[in-house]
Amino acid sequence: MINAKEDYIKYRISKSIEIFEDAVLLAQNERWNSCVNRLYYSSYYLASALLYKNNINSKTHNGTKTQLFLNFVRSGKINVTFGKLYSHLFDWRQETDYADFVEFDRETIEPLVHEVRKLNDALTRLIIK
């Protein structure tokens, strides 16, 4: 288990890629709410890997969001626009999972797929740096 930390980080990156690909498939099939969920998790796995790499503990999704802002957005390592996007993903995932009568649409989600790809690329660059 000498490389346990590296293995965990690689696993999270791999999981993020897989889940993002699932989001793309869901978008292609116009399953917008499920797509939002997968987009959030694709970024969440990377955010949690970034925190773990930097020995920053977080036990909850909200804690991950908070620590990402405190340690990477506030310092300018992650663009504020990406920080806001992550926050929106967090909120929208909550809505699609727990609120009734929430329906996302093509106009909202299709552009989001491209923006999340950019966010994930930025997170990945910080992880492998």
Average pLDDT over residues 92-119: 93
Query: Tell me, what's the pLDDT at 52?
Result: 96
Q: What is the pTM of this model?
A: 0.94
Query: Tell me, what's the pLDDT at 121?
Result: 98
Q: Which residues contact 66 (CB under 8 A, 6 or more apart)?
A: 58
Q: C-alpha angle 1/128/26, rounded to 5°?
A: 95
CA gap 63, 10 in Å, rounded: 21
Is the torsion defined by CA of 46, 80, 91, 71 positive or negative? positive
Domains of the chain: 4-128 (1.20.120.330)
- Which of 31, 46, 47 shows the shortest CA–CA distance to 96? 31
For residue 3, name the pLDDT band (cuts at 50, 70, 90): confident
